Amino acid sequence: MLFTAEHEEPRRTLQRFIAAEINPHVDEWEAAGEFPAHELFRKLGDLGFLGLNKPVEFGGAGLDYSYALMMAEEMGAVRSGSVPAAIGVQTDMATPALARYGSDALRREFLTPAISGEAVACVGVSEPGAGSDVAEIRTRARSDGDDYIIDGGKMWITNGAQADWMCLIANTGDGPKHRNKSLICVPMKTKGVTVARKLDKLGLRASDTAQIFFEGVRVPKRNRIGEEGKGFVYQMTQFQEERLWVAAACLKAHERTIAETIAYARERKAFGRSILDNQTVHFKLAELQTEIELLRSLIYRAAEAMIAGADMTQLATMAKLKAGKLGRELPSACLQYWGGMGFMNETPVSRAFRDHRIDSIAGGAEEVMLTILCKGMGTLPGMGQ
């Protein structure tokens, strides 16, 4: 069994925190286009939620991945996708490779403050011409003695305007594109790092997302995570946790959207009866609830495989693929049953519609997920011939 009685106390603590410290403020943060990441992360760090499965010696709780998954699932109770997205970057996107492959000195410098919430992290992968296709990134970190000098840029960087450091992937050599990249911890206040602009997004309105340029940015080579040239492999491993997080964080959010739609459709009348009494409506909501449970089972199975040390690439990819599809279908279907009110920004279903559209893009586009699955099945053109 994935979750036990040991998970219940931290689960209840997190639920109370979300109810008291996050949900009362999300509308204000959405309107402002930003939330106070340092303040909120420090509170989460004080409660131990930013390092549940990170090493004890660097401030983490040293627990297995099931606790991180529990947290991701509870994040779905936040009444905005923006804050969970930013927290997920901190816990499951910018720090897993550092925790797993970084030197002790590097982990003390960057991982420890990320776990305590003293520092906000971001992850620098996507570029204007290379998002899901990580191998095609152009940002370069050339060797200069004991330093790297970084030139290039990153795009769509969550936490980018508030971050203290970035887990950056850059080309550090001229070899094959899958073996010429490295992950580097880059302090955002380093000379030559420019937050060019905050991006105006369709959804996740309270999550600051930035375009960032690097011009002659000098960082010591000791800031490299693990071996030079292994960055692509490290990032692909890091992606597995990111994809599971994206999938898990949508579960309770979708359940809330269905519950709110049921309540509204029951009261809304058309042609002499409630909208909910139409078979097409209550049947569709039952089908969508079933899809959530199927996704939950797939996520739990992938997590169990991870904890057991098995390769869960296919399962995590399937979960991400399914979460992306559900993120488009479920809010759209529910919005329809709200009628004109569903088109109003004041209605929660409209926020869900905007926020969950990213689920089939972030962390690898849906088409990339399908390509990974086909590789695993041996069905891509050119394979097995």
Nearest to 66 by CA among 307, 294, 247: 307
DSSP state of 131: S
∠ Cα 276 284 342 (to 5°): 60
The upper half-sphere exposure of residue 119, i.e. CA atoms within 13 Å in the direction of its Cβ, equals 23
Residues labelled as active-site residues: 242
The upper half-sphere exposure of residue 366, i.e. CA atoms within 13 Å in the direction of its Cβ, equals 12
Count of helices and strands (H, E) across the chain: 14, 10
Q: Give the three-state DSSP class for 257.
A: helix
d(CA 87, CA 285): 30
Cβ-in-10-Å burial (0-12, 13-18, 19+) of 64 comes to middle
